[in-house]
């Protein structure tokens, strides 16, 4: 009997850890209860990464890029979330209808311990993604039960499982790509600002005109150099360093 070792292996994988050091937002605490292997792994792999990328765009992005750009990203993610939620709801309703039509009353259960951890939800989209993962987790044992009862084939189960996993995974990948694009635009903004400051610092101020009663002091002949100096070569300007990446 599993005592939680499977959950610890999933949560301890380095590739599932997201960098939350820059996330300073308050969060609403929720507790997961994921039973399926698919739900657990997608939660560990995608949820924290999704929230970190979303925070980078929504909070940090607004400090350097136009707000309209950030709002377009948020709306695109919201639309994709609506589509995914609709498809998963339809799949759950369809599975429950098959249960009813075939007089199936018992759902297959897992022998492993459910994954129960407290998480902080920092945005409305983060909350909706949290709920989407739990919908996927709810669907997985329904499909497995229908296969066991020979209502659907193993091939059909695998096709459905892969399809709905891709829906949830695609949202995390989409958000990560948006964050990378936002970071590039922020870096471009910083580079342009640095270049403008460098040009400004190289500008030589014009010599002020002397007043009528002002007399420019004459230099003594002794202060002149004995030979004509070579024209001074302009010093090379150091290239502007690109801003370092903020979020991995």
Predicted confidence (pLDDT) per residue in 197-242, tens digit: 777 777 755 555 555 555 444 444 444 344 344 444 444 444 334 3
Q: Say if 73 falls within a structural domain.
A: yes
Res 90 pLDDT > 90: yes
Alpha carbon distance 92, 98 (integer Å):
10
Q: Say if 231 falls within a structural domain.
A: no
Domain that residue 153 falls in? 5-189
Res 127 pLDDT > 60: yes
Helix 154-202 vs helix 67-101: crossing angle, to nearest 10 = 170
Domain count, the chain: 1
Residue 192 or residue 217, greater confidence: 192
Q: Say if 203 falls within a structural domain.
A: no
| Entry field: residues in the chain | 248
Q: Could you tell me how many helices (H) and strands (E) the chain has, helices first? A: 6, 2
pLDDT at residue 17, rounded to an integer: 63
Q: What is the pTM of this model?
A: 0.75
Structure-token match 């909070």, residue found: 59
Q: Say if 81 falls within a structural domain.
A: yes
Q: Say if 220 falls within a structural domain.
A: no
Question: Tens of pLDDT along 146-161?
Answer: 999 999 999 999 999 9
Q: Say if 147 falls within a structural domain.
A: yes
Q: Say if 28 falls within a structural domain.
A: yes
Burial pattern 90-112, b for ≥16 Cβ within 10 A else e, equals ebbeebeebbeeeebeeeeebeb
Q: Does residue 89 contact residue 216 with C-beta atoms inside 8 Å?
A: no
Closest listed residue to residue 136, CA positions, set 87, 204, 75, 185: 87
- Residue 29's DSSP bridge partners are 120
Alpha carbon distance 202, 190 (integer Å):
19
Q: What is the mean pLDDT of residues 30-53?
A: 93
Half-sphere exposure of 75 (CA within 13 A, CB side): 6
Q: Say if 198 falls within a structural domain.
A: no
Closest listed residue to residue 139, CA positions, set 116, 111, 165, 105: 165
Instruction: Give the chain's largest Cα–Cα span.
Output: 113
Alpha carbon distance 73, 156 (integer Å):
34
Structure-token match 């249960």, residue found: 99
Q: Does residue 151 contact residue 100 with C-beta atoms inside 8 Å?
A: no
């Amino acid at each position: 009997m599993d005592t939680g070792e499977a959950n610890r292996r999933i949560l301890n994988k380095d590739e599932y850890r997201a960098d939350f050091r820059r996330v300073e937002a308050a969060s609403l605490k929720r507790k997961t209860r994921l039973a399926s292997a698919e739900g657990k792994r997608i939660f560990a792999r995608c949820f924290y990464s999704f929230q970190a990328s979303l925070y980078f765009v929504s909070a940090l992005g607004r400090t350097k890029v136009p707000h309209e750009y950030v709002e377009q990203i948020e709306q695109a993610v919201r639309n994709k979330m609506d589509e995914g939620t609709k498809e998963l709801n339809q799949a759950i309703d369809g599975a429950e209808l098959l249960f009813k039509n075939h007089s199936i009353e018992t759902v297959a259960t897992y022998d492993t311990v459910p994954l129960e951890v407290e998480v902080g939800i920092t945005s409305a989209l983060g909350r909706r993604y949290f709920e989407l993962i739990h919908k996927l987790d709810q669907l997985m044992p329904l499909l497995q039960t229908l296969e066991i009862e020979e209502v659907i084939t193993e091939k059909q189960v695998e096709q459905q499982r892969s399809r709905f996993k891709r829906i949830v995974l695609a949202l995390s990948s989409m958000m990560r790509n948006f964050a990378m694009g936002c970071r590039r635009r922020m870096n471009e903004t910083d580079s342009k600002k640095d270049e403008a400051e460098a040009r400004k610092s190289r500008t030589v101020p014009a010599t002020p005109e002397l007043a009528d009663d002002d007399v420019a002091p004459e230099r003594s002949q002794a202060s002149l150099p004995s030979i004509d100096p070579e024209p001074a070569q302009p010093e090379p300007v150091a290239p502007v360093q690109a801003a370092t990446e903020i979020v991995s």
